[in-house]
Amino acid sequence: MTTEENSRAMVGPYRVGFMSNQVIAWPYMVLFAALALWAFHTCAYGPAWVFLGFTSVGGIILVMSGHLDIDDNSITHQCALGKFRIFWSDIRQIEQGPGVLVLIGNSGRLVVPVGIWSGPEKHDAWRLLVRQIEKSGIVPMPSNTAGYKWHKNARVHD
């Protein structure tokens, strides 16, 4: 790695997406929507509502997909619900769950899905994320509830 590449690896900004979420969510939604329509058509209303519930889960996955921008100052998640950011200097605690990190700051939190990143910069972004966590000295704590949390007080109004 050249000096220029090394300095870029420290600051970013890097953008990673969640293509696997979109690839999984669309067929998931189509399948359960079709099952719901079939169930309504055959007057099986109970299963139809269950299938619609599963369809909405696919919708939530799509809405929460988007991209992460990671740089030396902050990490930002932009999705259909808006833009959410936390600064590295604000992070006081990190929870680690299956496939997710929850970065908890003074007054808010940012939920960061990990392991499903896509894009050409995902490896550099991961190195920067790990470097920033190590630099903070905060040890991620295992959490069984991390995967069920949402962003809190991290919305950015640009």
Per-block average pLDDT, block size 10, for the chain (158 residues)?
50 87 90 96 96 94 90 94 94 94 94 90 94 94 91 89
Task: At 67, list the tokens.
Answer: 């991209």
Kindly report the pTM of this predicted structure.
0.80
Distance CA 51, CA 34 (A): 9
Q: What is the pLDDT of residue 11?
A: 66
Backbone phi and psi for residue 132, each to the nearest 5 degrees, phi listed first: -65, -40
Rg (CA), the chain: 19
pLDDT value of residue 7: 47
What is the pLDDT, as a whole number, of residue 34? 97
How many C-beta atoms lie closer than 10 Å to residue 42's C-beta? 10
Tokens of 41: 């058509």
